[in-house]
Amino acid sequence: MEKQIVFILALLLTLGIFAYTVNRLLAYFKLTRQDYPIRKLGRRFSQMMGVAIGQTKIFRRPVIGLLHALVFWGFLVILIGSIEMVVDGIAGSERIFRVLGVVYDVIIGAGDVFALIIAVAIVVFLVRRLFLHVKRFSGIEMDHKKHVDANIALTLILVLMISLLGMNTFYIQHALASGHELHGVFPVSRLMAPWFASLPADQLHLWHEINWWVHILVIFFFANYLPYSKHFHVFLSVPNVFLSRLDPLGKLYTMENVKKEVQMMMDPNASFDPPAEEEEEAGRFGVKDVEDVSWKTYFDSLACTQCGRCTAVCPANITGKKLSPRKIIMDVRERMREKGPMMVKHGRDYDDNKSLLRDYITEQELWACTLCNACAQECPININHPSLIVEMRRYLVMEESSGPGDLNAIFSNIENNGAPWQYSQEDRMEWAGDLYINES
């Protein structure tokens, strides 16, 4: 009974803190702008099953991708066991899902094997981060704190796997020592249980309890650590893929407020109409600060796990330019962390004399992009970096007219003679002069 009370209190504390975090994040989301509507749920579901559950894009780097996929699929299986632990903790029961029979054996057996696989994969990940120089883990945006965060997350997962195996091992040995019936199948822990054959039953029980508590309390802690970590992707990557755009990467979204203005401009009748009574605030064109980004871009920034696959394939970054697509996305999250609380307090118009543009993301970064979509193609969870880059260019060009001079020149050429080059439209057919074809 005492165990149940302690457990329920710990669970309530965990859920309470989590609810507080979610509430804060929702308030930040309310500050952001609209994006495309979420329709075609069937297509979204299949996209999620492929890219997220099937890990298809992770496998674009096959070796390390396989390790990640195993960790992810193992996580899904072990999650069922974690849910059982919560039910057991509340109800004071032991392995309550055992009523599932053979299904239970399969789930627990798979979880036991996956725990070892994940532990090994995490050790590989840690070694890679601590001792090998993987280029995409460095970069201007990857300061010391980012590496500490990554290592904490990995270490916590390692503790979870060790405690899970420990729990299973002592559970088996205790059952043997005390003559209890054994529920579940344990291909890995079964091999470790005999190591503790000399321990008396009460000690085995104690060790089981210690591992059980360590495992569940680390989960509770982890759940509340994640929203403040790059590892938030554990929660958000699957929904991020579900919510990601279905259109071809080549499509840029049409600005409806600009469309209204252009239609007015081009319609000879409209220009003489008196302005509508309560005309909607057109708002700023493009993105200058974090409240101008769409909810989806903010979602992207929270779901990003800083793996750097985007930056590793970016042609600008590869050739030494300042642009790093990963940084652009991370900057959105950082800036919201800075300005979000103040905007929640003082309103969306709050001004701290800083902005996402220039204080975080410089023009040099934005103008280095070739819009080649390599970053978006590579992102394992379908983050769309180019749409944010274009939105920030839109602000620079349409609100400040401060794009690079060369580009301003091509804008006037397009306006004046319908081509980026300064040639007369009358010369558009010059290529066709003296054109002959051989006839055999």
Q: Is 419 in the site for another protein (CB under 8 A)?
A: yes
Cβ atoms of 189 and 165 within 8 Å: the answer is yes
DSSP for 239-298, written as a single string: HHHHHS--S-TTPPPP-HHHHHHHHHHH-TTGGGSPPPTTPPP---SS-SSGGGSBHHHH
Instruction: Enumerate residues 6+ apart whose C-beta is below 8 A from 355.
Output: 288, 289
| Smaller CB separation from another protein, 259 or 348 | 259
**Does 313 sit near another protein (CB under 8 A)?**
yes
Give the other-Cβ count within 10 Å of 239's Cβ. Answer: 14
Whichever of 76 and 407 has its CB closer to another protein, that residue is 407
- Which stretch, 17-25, 72-80, 116-124, 314-322, contacts another protein (CB under 8 A)? 314-322
Among 23, 34, 269, 319, binds another protein (CB under 8 A): 319
Q: Which is nearer to another protein, 16 or 420 (CB)?
A: 420
For residue 33, the cross-strand partners are 294
| CB 407, min distance to another protein, A | 5
Residue the block writes with tokens 């054994």: 182
Among 60, 180, 337, 358, binds another protein (CB under 8 A): 60
Whole-angstrom distance, CA of residue 313 vs CA of residue 307:
12
Nearest approach, Cβ of 348 to another protein (angstroms)? 23
C-alpha 430/C-alpha 382 separation (Å) is 44
Residue closer to another protein (CB basis): 205 or 321: 321
CB of 189 to another protein, least distance (A): 42
Contact residue for another protein among 56, 321, 338, 350 (CB under 8 A): 321
∠ Cα 54 295 18 (to 5°): 75
Which is closer to another protein, CB of 178 or CB of 263?
263
242, 52 contact by CB (below 8 A): yes
332 in Cβ contact with 290 (< 8 Å): yes
Sorted by sequence, the CB contacts under 8 Å of residue 417 that are 6+ apart come out as 423, 424, 425
Q: Which of 9, 19, 318, 342 is close enough to bind another protein by CB under 8 A?
A: 318
Residue 417 C-beta: closest distance to another protein, Å: 9
Q: Torsions phi, psi of 294, nearest 5?
A: -80, 160
The whole-angstrom separation of Cα 226 and Cα 220 is 10
83 or 246: whose CB is closer to another protein?
246
320: left (phi over 0), alpha (psi -120 to 50) or beta: left
Q: What residue type is 50 in one-letter code?
A: G
Which CB, 353 or 401, lies closer to another protein? 401
Smaller CB separation from another protein, 113 or 372: 372
Q: Does 420 bind another protein (CB under 8 A)?
A: yes
Judge contact between 314 and 323, C-beta under 8 A.
yes
CB nearer another protein, residue 95 or residue 260:
260
Count of residues touching another protein (by CB under 8 A): 74
Instruction: Please state, in angstroms and rounded to a whole number, the distance separating the CA atoms of residues 147 and 128.
Output: 12
The contact pattern for another protein, residues 64-93, with x = CB under 8 A and - = no contact, is ------------------------------
393-412 residues near another protein, rule: CB under 8 A: 393-398, 403-404, 406-407, 409-411
What is d(CA 388, CA 36) in angstroms, rounded to the nearest whole number? 14
**Per CB under 8 A, 437 contacts another protein:** yes
Closest CB to another protein among 26 and 437?
A: 437
Q: Footprint of another protein on residues 252-311 (CB under 8 A)?
A: 252, 254-255, 258-259, 261-263, 265-266, 285-286
CB of 307 to another protein, least distance (A): 16
Asked if residue 34 binds another protein (CB under 8 A), the reply is: no
Which of 36, 45, 228, 423 forms a contact with another protein (CB under 8 A)? Answer: 423
Q: Which residues lie closer than 8 Å to 293 by C-beta, 6 or more apart?
A: 32, 33, 287, 332, 356, 388, 391
Name which position in 49, 251, 301, 338 contacts another protein (CB under 8 A).
251
Site for another protein (CB under 8 A): which residue of 118, 174, 367, 382? Answer: 367
Residues in CB range of 192: below 8 A, 6 or more apart: 165, 169
Q: Is 250 in the site for another protein (CB under 8 A)?
A: yes
Distance CA 264, CA 274 (A): 12
416 lies in the binding site for another protein (CB under 8 A): no
* Side chain identity, residue 37: P
Q: Which is nearer to another protein, 94 or 261 (CB)?
A: 261
